[in-house]
Structure 1
Amino acid sequence: MVRRWKMNKSIVIVLFLLLAGILGVNRYVFSLLQPVDPSGKNADVLVQIAPNSNTAQVASLLEEQKLIRSAQIFRLYTRYHELDNQLKAGYYLMNGNMSTPEIISLLVRGATASKSFTIPEGYTLKQITDSLADKNFIREELFLELLAKGQFHYAFLKNLPQGSKRLEGYLFPETYNVSLDSTEKDIINVMLAGMDKQLRELKFEEQAKALNLSTRQALTIASMIEREAKKDGDRSLISSVIHNRLRLGMRLQIDATVEYALGGHREKIYYKDLEVDSPYNTYKYNGLPPGPIAAPGRQSLLAAVQPASTNYLYYVAKPDGSHAFATTLEGHNENKRKYLQ
């Protein structure tokens, strides 16, 4: 009996020691999964995970950057949870107050660090290029080459005339967030995708066809509306003037097209400017200009294919940015006397 008790006691002691060992190992492993710097006082670290990096390479890099406590535990954790083949390449912002599981989750989700830029409505390709170049988001020469010759697979880009103005009006004005390693082509593509989304949501091509217009012609109208209108309420009215003049064979005589032909914004258009010999000059040439003159926003896109039902043929800007509209030249001249003092 005493002997059996001694044996049972030994087994209990062994089991206790094993359990204590297991708990000790678990506690140790758990401690190695904790943040290197729980205080969170250190600045974020930008980490680049190169394409085709394996788990061991990622773990070593993070350990070198003092973002994880143990590369070995990182590898064991990803393998145990079957995540070792799901870590995504890219640039990431990390901090020492992140635990190893949090870092792994970030890499699995591909939540890369990003940069943002805003393209205002009515910007031209030149303005877009200058804005991105000023932020050092692009290499200007390569960006311009891609605008002219890059391959982008969107239905609305088929059969566009070649040249530097090829994508004028096709980059949708919006605020974009892109990954830090985005290329020039990626940046152009995200803006084209923005336009594609708008055209599909608005059923733009179908509405243009109902007006006997191609998508490019309707986009050209939208771009003129964008550059002319300062108030949203005027957009469909300006659109009606454009459509009415086209229907009657009148020259559009839109100042924004003259500005575009002259190469940029003018505080004032002089009579001599109206003589600039350019197919974009709608004072000199009938019909629509060869293509868009700026990037139209959603409201201008909508106005281009949904013009107001009016007989207006003229408009003049008021001091507050809105416009006065007229059906006759006499009415237009009266508006000019009233508002252009």
Structure 2
Amino acid sequence: MTDERKQHPEEESFKDKILNSLHGAYEQSPEEPDDYEENDFSRFSTEINTQDNGEQPIEEQDSVGSRSQRNNLRAPEEDAFVPYDRKEEDIYPVDTKVRRRQQRKKEDKIVNKIVLIIVLVLLFVGGILGFSAYRYVSSSLKPLNAKNEQLVQVEIPSGSSNKEIGDVLEKSKIIKSGLVFNYYTKFKNYTGFQAGFYQMAPNMTLDEIGKLLEEGGSPTPVDVADKRLTIPEGYDVEQVAKKVAKVTEYSEKEFLALMEDEAFFTKLKEQYPQLLEGAAKAEGVRYRLEGYLYPATYDYYNSNTLEDIVTQMVDKSNTVLTPYLEQIQQKNMTLHEVLTIASLVEKEGVKEGDRKNIAQVFANRVAVDMPLQSDISILYALGEHKELVTYEDTAVDSPYNLYLNTGYGPGPFDNPSEEAIQAVLNPTENDYYYFVADIDTGKVYFAKTYEEHMEYVEEYVNK
């Protein structure tokens, strides 16, 4: 090869130019390896010589080998030059798959992190929303302002649904949420809300409002009262006296003195003859109006006298009980007897089903001349309010002691609700003679025999 170059200096110069140009192209290539070797350069020289002479020098074939052999001998580098017409994975299949697998793992990790972050954010936001909703509902179930007794006159239009009533009360600033009111009244099975004008205050509970709407308002607007007097169901006369003393300017002593005033009772009897006929004939009663002071919410004006307050309560009893007079006569009972049993049922049971069964138990006992043995009668006879009655208590000398005396007693033991009255008039037929309530759960257990009853007492009371 050396001799040929000497014999043809022009060709040698031409070849050198071409080789230099190729060499420069490799140097400019971005994929040129750093460890470019002389043997690779010789490969291009050999190719050019072959093009010029039509053959390849033997010594170069022996020392270097064919092009395919030389390509196999070269160690693949990560940044090695890749011809434009060949794919990288064809030349470096293993490295490419590894890199792609690693890339996918990185991408999966990033995706997982993003998903985890999104889930945590959603849980956090959901927790905040859930807690906020819980607080909102909880606060909506309470009075809007427990310290605000200022009465507001509210008109409930005829035909209003519970939802529409709730909206009216919310706009009138009586309750916090009309939506919560709607669901609460449905949950508590409040029905029969009546249209009319009502006087309400922000310190009223949802139950107080529901019961007031069931009782009905006035058909026309009235002067806004100064205060609101609420008598809870099952309150006896002495408890009513304390409640009146808290709201009005009249003391307990004054109220109880009016309850014992025969002249005042006679005046009321003339006004409500059917209602108070049984109370007038009763003997040995502590207060003749016990059971006739209907538990409800009343409007109180500073100009009201104590007689006005009591008359308002008796008038409410007359309104509620008059529709039941015919049914009472059909059962061969007096109104006074119905109120007396209802006053026991009011305290002995809470659920409607229990009250109806208890009313029948009392009827079963009276039918066989068996004492009712109600603890409520003992507590009334003692004039005390305590959780448990002892054997010593059952021996108290009083006509109200239904452990010692048969029948219903002199008269009512408290002022019962309409629900308790309905339970007496529509009891559930049964053949039970005993019942006892679990002091923890309030569940009532009924028994036909004394032995079965004592088993329940031992299990649910003496425990």
TM (norm. structure 1) is 0.64
Q: Secondary structure at the match of 1:316?
A: strand
Distance in 2, matches of 1:232 and 1:144, equals 32
Identity across aligned pairs (percent)? Answer: 37
**Secondary structure at 1:337 match in 2:** helix
Match of 2:422 in 1: 302
Structure with more of its chain in helix, by fraction: 2
Aligned partner of 2:303 in structure 1 is: 181
Structure 1 gap segments, 5+ residues each: 1-107
The match for 1:281 is 401
Rg larger in structure: 2
What is aligned with 1:89? none
* CA distance in 2 between partners of 1:116 and 1:160 (Å): 33
Separation in 1 of the partners of 2:358 and 2:384? Answer: 21
Q: Tell me the distance in 2 between the aligned counterparts of 1:216 and 1:267.
A: 27
Identify the residue that residue 330 of structure 1 maps to in structure 2: 451
Q: Which residue of 2 aligns with 1:67?
A: none
Q: Deviations over 1:282-333 (max 9, x none)?
A: 0011111100000100110111111111111100011211211111112212
Checking the alignment, whether the CA contact within 8 Å between 1:251 and 1:283 is kept in structure 2 is: yes
Is structure 2 residue 442 aligned with structure 1 residue 321? yes
Which of residues 379, 395, 405 in structure 2 aligns to 1:259?
A: 379
Question: Does 1:132 find its partner at 2:244?
Answer: yes
- Aligned match of 1:192: 314
RMSD: 2.1
Query: Are the aligned partners of 1:147 and 1:164 in contact in 2 as well (CA < 8 Å)?
Result: no
Equivalent runs, 1:117-266 vs 2, <5 Å: 117-149=229-261, 150=264, 151-152=267-268, 153-154=271-272, 155-158=274-277, 159-161=280-282, 165-201=287-323, 203=324, 205-266=325-386
Q: How big is the shift at 1:186?
A: 0.9
1:129, distance to aligned residue in structure 2 (A): 0.4
- Alpha carbons of structure 1 residues 215 and 141: separation in structure 2 relative to 1, 3 Å: same
Letter in 2 for 1:222: A
Distance 2:234 2:436 in 1: 19
Q: Using the alignment, how far apart are the partners of 1:109 and 1:294 within structure 2? A: 33
SS of structure 1 residue aligned to 2:435: strand
Structure 1 pair 114–248 and aligned structure 2 pair: CA distance change class (3 A): same
Q: How many residue pairs are counted as aligned between the two chains?
A: 233
> How far is the alpha carbon of 1:157 from its aligned partner?
1.0
The 8 Å contact of residues 160 and 166 in structure 1, kept in 2 or not, is answered as: no
Q: CA deviation at 1:161?
A: 4.1
* CA deviation map 1:149-203 (0-9, x unaligned): 21212121133448751101110111112323111011101111111111023x1
- Structure 2: distance between partners of 1:164 and 1:239: 23
CA contact 1:243–1:307 (8 Å) conserved in 2: no
TM-score, normalized by length of structure 2? 0.48
Is the 2:282–2:411 Cα contact (8 Å) retained in structure 1? no
**Matched position secondary structure for 2:260:** helix
Q: Which has the higher contact order (CA 8 A, sep 6+)?
A: 1
Contact 1:119 1:128 in 2 (8 A): yes
How far apart are the structure 2 equivalents of 1:323 and 1:110? Answer: 45
1:185–1:270 distance in 2 versus 1, CA, 3 Å: same
